[in-house]
């Protein structure tokens, strides 16, 4: 309890919403509720009374019990030791909680996020000299947080002045002083390896930049068709079972981000366990180190208290911004933002606020926009450029995309990966629907692809989408009047589209080889499928029957190619391509000869 | 604090009793109510301030006389007594006996509300359970610790399927069976009796605890019933090291009771009158299932959800599907064609299948067989659709093959006897027999090795 704390009295308990009498308490202030000391936060004031949302179940709490105002807003600890961990919606370390309270989460536990007993190997920044002017974001030194991630120890926001003292290289605990700074007004700041930051306040940066390079996820339908940029904001809406969580987990596994923050917000406990159990075993395809070393989990599962769900997204975002400020590219995955919105709805309903659509309060859209706005690529104060990419899953009731959370989200984001129940039911995974999905980043991504992979990328991508669009059109006709109505060329178009779907778009997360696909392999597969279509179209134009082409064993091989050859075996794909070209050339020659005979 | 007793209530409506000037009552505590006739009812505090306390009365508020009602705040949460004697017994939603036998006496008493399992304490479920039903084992495998509901509709044989699974479920190489917790909410006497007879005739009755609230019992009691049942399940699993299978029927009546109470409380409705917290409320129930580190027992859950008007987008199945680890969906169309069990595989899903099947668990080719059958069947359904528009005669030879496959699949793979307990080997072999109706090159989801080993087609 700090010197700021004040004691009041509980008046009313209405589920997670508790009314207290505590004159002078501030909006947003943290409160400990009742004898159990449950964590809560003031969300409204009215006269002498404050309305508190509680992050834990209020069963057993009585009117008349004390309520203590802690004097600070909901904040998180930021320092080395976050990576590899799993925290609850208010940043309590769940592994440590399990040691203290067993398999079930006891209430009223007050466990700090970062381990105070652990020491870290601090290496001061050699370029800093005593007497130098330092400010927010100045790199004081580094700590090897994991084998892959060097933690840059920064001067926290709000502190600037003259560097009076900096600790020499050595092992330090979190609470140790590693630097002293004298502010302009003469006050002395004692800096440690960690600091606290209020989660609802975006962390400052020097300036916002445009995204320039795509976030490579190793998923073809994303990277090749609907690319995301580092620093972009995207949404994955879809009915249950369509594949939202798998998309998010695939990005957590295979994306070329430096840091991944996975926020399980109101979803299944076992999905977090899946990450916890598999990531320590999986290799990061870029560094070769274990994936867990760059990953951090925030878990407020669906059975954990609703109100902490609302906080969990801010808690995750603040940690994401913290690593961004060190100059890292961070990806934050929020599964699911609908549960976050429902927590808002729950609280607003209990407060008796006027609902506008499906029970949601009028401020839903602005809150959503404000969360997504914290994503972006920025110039940090002292560590160059960093980014936070935010990708939110959206869980529309009944899969209806016109509902409030999906429709507001759609207005805010730049990349929309719409999952389709029809595709998922047919086990076409990822079930990202190529008709309704979009990316505002194709042009920017195209420059990267042209420089790094192939100049033909943007054209080939366009051709594939056009073929898929014609396929949709032709399929409608077939369903009205039957396949006989189609010309041979049109039937070959259907075949080409089917090839794109099976050989390129479909990608099983469970396939050991195909779960990750490098950009080079992505382009090779796309170019192979389109190449077959193009060559076939020419033959069909010459009068070769579509059936003859359909039956070619090389088409089956093309469909299997993605799982047969890994991203390191591009030469095999090239061989297959050569075989296909040879085969088509043979058919062409054969046909040309027959044609001559006939004449 | 201690027990406090009051004589008069201020208001009663829709299952809620409002008490004024009863200070210091704990939120969530248990309440006992004695009406003018001396009959006892039970309740729970759902809002508390010094001025006003709201009590949810499980048996409902019909016939309460405000002037002549004793209300006792018991100063304890809603709890049940737990002991090995639970097995073989029948209780109501509050844990009181329904079988004319004495109440359970035990000093182990636990609050039915439960608390959240720490995700860091969970172990990922991965042990394959063979149910003997091909559409489940082959395509939507169940693992120990999974919550896998049956989505059904009125008149469909979900009870028979659930009973078949209870009878047949076992780990692949063991025959150790499960302890069963059976929770019935708002079902008919006939349905409850069906299960009771089933348990009796298959000789498992001594391994079953039943919690029953029938259609004509007070609906509010349905709100505690699954919690009471799960508290018993947790005791069996984690205190007595048993593998527990919880069958809950019917979650739709549970949710309807919740809506009734929410409406009486004046909660803001979200969809179809259901309160916004229905999702979290259902999650509190479903997420009590799972596996925990270093615990021998486990809880596997199979809730039955009847879809109002067969509508899978109705809030109850919809929110359930967002929480559970998949769903088995029954189809009226298949049922009308006489297929039993009428499992519609397309919307069915098991999310935990991936880690429970394959080389070390079932058979090497299993994951790909499932993917291939799904792909073939999806295409076959499209073809069936097309045939119904343009006529089967207009179809190409390739399409006609899909049509034949669809029929054979429904009849032979989906359809099976109610007493037919197929091993996973038998299911996979049957799958290959059906897949072999196609040329080898059509089976692009299978590896060359799979084809070499199992393909039986002519080319
Ligand atoms: N890319 C994929 N590859 C293979 N299987 C997938 C893929 N995406 C989804 N699935 C399957 O679909 C199931 C449901 O996906 P999930 O992401 O959990 O859905 P949602 O989060 O939308 O409810 C998964 O358990 C898996 O079996
Ligand atoms: Mg999900």
pLDDT tens string B238-270: 999 999 999 999 999 999 999 988 888 888 888
- Measured CA to CA, the distance from residue A254 to residue A247 in angstroms comes to 11
- Measured CA to CA, the distance from residue B5 to residue B449 in angstroms comes to 75
Q: Are B232 and B181 in contact (CB under 8 A)?
A: yes
- Measured CA to CA, the distance from residue A208 to residue A71 in angstroms comes to 32
- Measured CA to CA, the distance from residue A478 to residue A487 in angstroms comes to 11
Helix-strand-coil percent breakdown of chain B, rounded to 5? Answer: 40, 25, 35
Structure tokens at B32: 């006992």
Q: Do B325 and A268 touch (CB under 8 A)?
A: yes
Find out whether the beta carbon of A363 lies less than 6 Å from any atom of ligand 1.
no
pLDDT of residue B60: 85
A residues 26-45 lying closer than 8 A (beta carbon) to B: none
CA-closest candidate to residue B44, choices B8, B13, B11, B75: B75
Structure tokens at A507: 């990608």
Find out whether the beta carbon of A536 lies less than 6 Å from any atom of ligand 1.
no
The full DSSP string for A323-372 is HHHTT-EEEEEEETHHHHHHHHHHHHHHTTPPEEETTEETTHHHHHHHHH
Q: Smallest Cβ distance to A346: which of B276, B385, B396?
A: B276
- Measured CA to CA, the distance from residue A395 to residue B323 in angstroms comes to 11
Sign of the dihedral through C-alpha B216, B285, B135, B333: positive
Q: Do A299 and B119 touch (CB under 8 A)?
A: yes
What is each CA distance from B334 to B331, B345, B381, B414, in whole angstroms? 5, 11, 13, 9
Q: Work out the number of other CB atoms within 10 angstroms of the CB of residue A376.
A: 24
The full DSSP string for B284-341 is HHHTT-BEETT-S-EEEEEEEEEPGGG-TTSHHHHHHHHHSSEEEEE-HHHHHTT-SS
Q: Work out the number of other CB atoms within 10 angstroms of the CB of residue B201.
A: 11
Structure tokens at B64: 């309460």
Q: What is the pLDDT of residues A99-154, one digit of tens each?
A: 999 999 999 898 999 999 999 999 999 999 999 999 999 999 999 999 889 999 99
- Measured CA to CA, the distance from residue A535 to residue A583 in angstroms comes to 10
Q: Do B290 and A270 touch (CB under 8 A)?
A: yes
Q: What is the pLDDT of residues A258-303, one digit of tens each?
A: 999 999 999 999 999 999 899 889 888 888 888 999 999 999 999 8
Q: Do A57 and B326 touch (CB under 8 A)?
A: no
Q: What is the pLDDT of residues B67-85, one digit of tens each?
A: 888 999 998 888 999 999 9
Strand-pairing partners, residue B29, are: B77
Structure tokens at A416: 């929309």
> Does residue B7 sit in helix, strand or coil?
coil
Mean pLDDT of chain B: 92
Residue closest by Cα to atom 17 of ligand 1:
A243
Q: Are A503 and A510 in contact (CB under 8 A)?
A: no
Q: Work out the number of other CB atoms within 10 angstroms of the CB of residue A1.
A: 9
Q: Give A301 Cα–ligand 2 centroid separation in angstroms.
A: 11
Q: Work out the number of other CB atoms within 10 angstroms of the CB of residue A464.
A: 24
Q: Work out the number of other CB atoms within 10 angstroms of the CB of residue B359.
A: 10
Domain with CATH 2.40.10.170 in chain B: 4-76
- Measured CA to CA, the distance from residue A201 to residue A340 in angstroms comes to 18
Q: Is the pLDDT of residue A599 over 60?
A: no
The distance of Cα A588 from the centroid of its chain, to the nearest Å, equals 49
- B11 cis-preceded (ω within 30 degrees of 0): no
| Cβ neighbours of B110 in A, within 8 Å | none
A residues 130-159 lying closer than 8 A (beta carbon) to B: none
- Measured CA to CA, the distance from residue B154 to residue B152 in angstroms comes to 7
Lookup result for tokens 């980043």: A441
Q: Is the pLDDT of residue A491 over 90?
A: yes
Go through the domains of chain A in sequence order and give each one's CATH number.
Answer: 6-73 (2.40.30.20), 119-193 (2.40.50.100), 207-444 (3.40.50.300), 457-598 (1.10.1140.10)
pLDDT of residue A1: 45
Q: Give A251 Cα–ligand 2 centroid separation in angstroms.
A: 14
What is each CA distance from A495 to A46, A431, A491, A507, A557, in whole angstroms? 67, 20, 6, 19, 15
Distance between first and last Cα of chain B: 81
- Measured CA to CA, the distance from residue A104 to residue B238 in angstroms comes to 12
Mean pLDDT of chain A: 93
Q: Work out the number of other CB atoms within 10 angstroms of the CB of residue B393.
A: 7
pLDDT interval class at A483 (50, 70, 90): confident
pLDDT of residue A560: 93
Q: What is the pLDDT of residues A220-262, one digit of tens each?
A: 999 999 999 999 999 999 999 999 999 999 999 999 999 999 9
Find out whether the beta carbon of A430 lies less than 6 Å from any atom of ligand 1.
yes
| Cβ neighbours of A402 in B, within 8 Å | none
Question: Which DSSP symbol is given to B267?
Answer: P
Q: Do B378 and A478 touch (CB under 8 A)?
A: no
B residues 388-407 lying closer than 8 A (beta carbon) to A: 389-390, 394-396, 399
Q: Are A355 and B268 in contact (CB under 8 A)?
A: yes
Does A363 or B173 have the greater pLDDT score? A363
Q: Are A283 and A290 in contact (CB under 8 A)?
A: yes
pTM: 0.95
Interface membership of B330 toward A (CB under 8 Å): no
- Measured CA to CA, the distance from residue A268 to residue A469 in angstroms comes to 36
| ipTM value > 0.85 | yes
Q: Are B282 and B230 in contact (CB under 8 A)?
A: no
Planar angle of CA A293, A294, A295, nearest 5 degrees: 95
B residues 265-324 lying closer than 8 A (beta carbon) to A: 267-271, 275-277, 279-280, 283-284, 286-288, 290, 292-293, 295, 313-315, 318-319, 321-323
Find out whether the beta carbon of A241 lies less than 6 Å from any atom of ligand 1.
yes
| Cβ neighbours of B397 in A, within 8 Å | none
- Measured CA to CA, the distance from residue A325 to residue A318 in angstroms comes to 10
Domain with CATH 3.40.50.12240 in chain B: 80-355
Q: Are B36 and B26 in contact (CB under 8 A)?
A: no
A residues 288-307 lying closer than 8 A (beta carbon) to B: 299, 301-306
- Measured CA to CA, the distance from residue A398 to residue B319 in angstroms comes to 8
Counting ligand 1 atoms within 8 A of each CB, the residue from A217, A241, A275, A301 with the most, and so the one to mutate, is A241
Does A597 or B301 have the greater pLDDT score? B301
Angle, helices A442-452 vs A519-542, to 10°: value is 90
Q: Do the bridges between strand B142-143 and strand A119-124 make them parallel or antiparallel, or are there none, so unpaired?
A: unpaired
Q: Do the bridges between strand A259-265 and strand A329-335 make them parallel or antiparallel, or are there none, so unpaired?
A: parallel
The full DSSP string for B169-194 is -EETT-----EEEEEEEEE-HHHHHH
Q: Is the pLDDT of residue A4 over 70?
A: no
Q: Do the bridges between strand B122-123 and strand B150-152 make them parallel or antiparallel, or are there none, so unpaired?
A: unpaired
Q: Are A325 and A386 in contact (CB under 8 A)?
A: yes
Helix-strand-coil percent breakdown of chain A, rounded to 5? Answer: 40, 25, 35
Average pLDDT estimate for B131-153: 97
Residue A418: CA count within 13 A, CB half-sphere: 17
Integer-rounded Cα Rg, in Å, for chain B is 25
Burial (Cβ within 10 Å: 0-12, 13-18, ≥19) of residue B385:
exposed
Write the CATH number of the domain with boundaries B80-355.
3.40.50.12240
pLDDT of residue B459: 64
Share of chain B above pLDDT 70, in %: 99
Q: Do the bridges between strand B298-306 and strand B142-143 make them parallel or antiparallel, or are there none, so unpaired?
A: unpaired
Strand-pairing partners, residue B328, are: B150
Q: Which residue in B has a C-alpha nearest to residue A276's C-alpha?
A: B120
Q: Is the pLDDT of residue A581 over 70?
A: yes
Contacting residues for B243 by C-beta, under 8 A, at least 6 apart: B144, B176, B178, B179, B237, B297, B298, B300
Structure tokens at A169: 């290289």
Contacting residues for A503 by C-beta, under 8 A, at least 6 apart: A525, A528, A529, A558, A559, A561, A562
Q: Are A265 and A250 in contact (CB under 8 A)?
A: no
Share of chain B above pLDDT 90, in %: 74
Average pLDDT estimate for B54-69: 88
pLDDT of residue A593: 86
E strand or H helix at A519 = helix A519-542
Sign of the dihedral through C-alpha B394, B400, B402, B407: positive
Q: What is the pLDDT of residues A369-426, one digit of tens each?
A: 999 999 999 999 988 999 999 999 999 999 999 999 999 999 999 999 999 999 999 9
Q: Do A60 and B77 touch (CB under 8 A)?
A: yes
The CATH number for B4-76, chosen from 3.10.530.10, 2.40.10.170, 3.20.20.70, 3.40.50.300, is: 2.40.10.170
Residue closest by Cα to atom 11 of ligand 1:
A243
């Amino acid at each position: 309890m700090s010197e700021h704390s004040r004691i009041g009295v509980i008046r009313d308990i209405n589920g997670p919403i508790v009314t207290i009498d505590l004159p002078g308490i501030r909006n947003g202030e943290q409160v400990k509720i009742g004898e159990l000391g449950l964590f809560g936060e003031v969300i409204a004031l009215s006269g002498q009374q404050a309305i508190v949302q509680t992050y834990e179940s209020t069963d057993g709490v009585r009117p008349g019990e004390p309520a203590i105002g802690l004097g600070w807003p909901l904040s998180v600890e930021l320092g080395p030791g976050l990576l590899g961990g799993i925290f609850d919606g208010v940043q309590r370390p769940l592994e440590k909680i399990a040691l203290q309270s067993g398999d079930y989460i006891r209430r009223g536990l007050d466990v700090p996020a970062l381990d105070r007993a652990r020491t870290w190997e601090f290496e001061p920044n050699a370029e800093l000299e005593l007497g130098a002017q330092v400010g927010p974001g100045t790199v004081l030194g580094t700590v090897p947080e994991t084998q892959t991630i060097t933690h840059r120890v920064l001067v926290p926001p709000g502190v600037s002045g003259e560097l009076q003292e900096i600790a020499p290289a050595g092992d330090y605990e979190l609470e140790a002083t590693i630097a002293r700074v004298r502010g302009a007004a003469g006050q002395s700041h004692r800096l440690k390896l960690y600091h606290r930051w209020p989660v609802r306040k975006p962390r400052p940066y020097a300036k916002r930049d445009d995204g320039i390079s795509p976030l490579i996820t190793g998923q073809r339908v994303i990277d090749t068709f609907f690319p995301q940029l580092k620093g972009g904001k995207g949404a994955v809406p879809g009915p249950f079972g369509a594949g939202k969580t798998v998309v998010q987990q695939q990005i957590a596994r295979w994306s070329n981000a430096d840091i991944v923050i996975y926020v399980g917000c109101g979803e299944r406990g076992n999905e977090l366990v899946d990450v916890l159990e598999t990531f320590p075993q999986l290799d990061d395809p870029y560094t070769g180190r274990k994936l867990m070393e760059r990953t951090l989990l925030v878990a407020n599962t669906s059975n954990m208290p609703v109100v902490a769900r609302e906080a969990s997204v801010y808690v995750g975002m603040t940690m994401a911004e913290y690593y961004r400020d060190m100059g890292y590219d961070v990806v934050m995955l929020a599964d699911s933002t609908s549960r976050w919105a429902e927590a808002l709805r729950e609280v607003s309903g209990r407060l008796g606020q006027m609902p506008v659509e499906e029970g949601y309060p009028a401020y839903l859209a602005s809150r959503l926009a404000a969360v997504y706005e914290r994503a972006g690529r920025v110039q940090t104060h002292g560590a160059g450029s960093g980014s936070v990419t935010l990708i939110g899953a959206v869980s529309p009731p009944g899969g209806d995309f016109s509902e409030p959370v999906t429709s507001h989200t759609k207005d805010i984001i730049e990349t929309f990966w719409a999952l389709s129940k029809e595709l998922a039911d047919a086990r076409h995974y990822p079930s990202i629907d190529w008709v309704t999905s979009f990316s505002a980043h194709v042009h920017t991504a195209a420059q990267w692809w042209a420089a790094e992979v192939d100049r033909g990328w943007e054209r080939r991508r366009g051709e594939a989408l056009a073929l898929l669009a014609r396929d949709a059109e032709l399929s409608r006709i077939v369903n009205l009047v039957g396949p006989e109505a189609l010309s041979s060329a049109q039937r070959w178009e259907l075949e080409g589209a089917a090839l794109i779907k099976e050989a390129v778009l479909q990608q099983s997360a469970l396939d050991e080889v195909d779960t990750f696909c490098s950009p080079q392999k992505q382009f090779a597969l796309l170019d192979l499928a389109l190449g077959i279509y193009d060559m076939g179209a020419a033959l069909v134009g010459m009068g070769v029957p579509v059936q003859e082409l359909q039956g070619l064993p090389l088409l089956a091989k093309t469909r299997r190619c993605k799982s047969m050859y890994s991203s390191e075996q591009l030469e095999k794909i090239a061989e297959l391509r050569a075989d296909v070209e040879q085969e088509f050339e043979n058919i062409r020659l054969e046909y040309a000869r027959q044609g001559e005979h006939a004449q | 604090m201690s027990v406090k007793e009051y004589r008069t209530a201020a208001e009663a409506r829709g299952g809620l009793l409002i008490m004024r000037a009863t200070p210091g009552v704990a939120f969530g505590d248990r309440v006992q109510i004695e009406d003018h006739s001396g009959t006892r009812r039970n309740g729970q505090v759902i809002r508390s301030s010094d001025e006003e306390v709201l009590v949810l009365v499980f048996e409902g508020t019909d016939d309460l006389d405000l002037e002549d009602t004793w209300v006792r705040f018991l100063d304890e949460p809603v709890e049940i007594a737990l002991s090995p004697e639970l097995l073989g017994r029948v209780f109501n939603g509050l844990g009181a006996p329904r079988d004319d036998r004495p109440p359970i006496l035990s000093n182990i008493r636990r609050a039915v509300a439960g608390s959240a399992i720490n995700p860091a304490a969970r172990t990922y479920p991965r042990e394959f359970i063979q149910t003997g039903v091909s559409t489940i084992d082959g395509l939507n495998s169940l693992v120990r610790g999974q919550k896998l509901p049956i989505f059904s509709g009125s008149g469909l044989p979900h009870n028979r399927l659930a009973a078949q699974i209870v009878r047949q479920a076992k780990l692949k190489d063991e025959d150790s069976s499960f302890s069963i917790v059976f929770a019935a909410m708002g079902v008919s006497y006939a349905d409850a009796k069906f299960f009771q007879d089933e348990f009796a005739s298959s000789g498992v009755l001594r391994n079953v605890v039943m919690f029953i609230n029938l259609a004509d019992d007070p609906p509010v009691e349905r709100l505690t019933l699954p919690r009471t049942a799960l508290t018993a399940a947790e005791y069996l699993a984690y205190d007595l090291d048993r593998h527990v299978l919880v069958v809950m029927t019917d979650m739709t009546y549970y949710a309807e009771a919740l809506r009734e109470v929410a409406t009486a409380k004046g909660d803001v409705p979200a969809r179809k009158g259901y309160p916004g917290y229905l999702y979290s409320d259902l999650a509190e129930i479903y997420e009590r299932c799972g596996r925990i580190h270093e615990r021998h027992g486990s809880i596997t859950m199979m809730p039955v959800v009847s879809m109002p008007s067969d509508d899978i987008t109705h809030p109850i199945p919809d929110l359930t599907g967002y929480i559970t680890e998949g769903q088995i969906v029954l189809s009226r169309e298949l049922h009308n064609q006489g297929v039993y069990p009428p499992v519609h595989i397309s919307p069915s899903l098991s999310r935990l299948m991936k880690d429970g099947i394959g080389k070390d668990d079932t058979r090497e080719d299993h994951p790909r067989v499932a993917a291939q059958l799904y792909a073939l069947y999806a295409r076959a359904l499209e073809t069936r659709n097309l045939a119904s528009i343009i006529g089967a005669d207009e179809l190409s030879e390739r399409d006609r093959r899909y049509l034949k496959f669809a029929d054979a699949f429904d009849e032979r793979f989906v359809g099976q006897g109610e007493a037919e307990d197929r091993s996973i080997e038998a299911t996979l072999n049957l799958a290959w027999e059906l897949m072999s109706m196609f040329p080898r090159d059509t089976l692009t989801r299978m590896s060359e090795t799979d084809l070499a080993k199992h393909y039986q087609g002519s080319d």
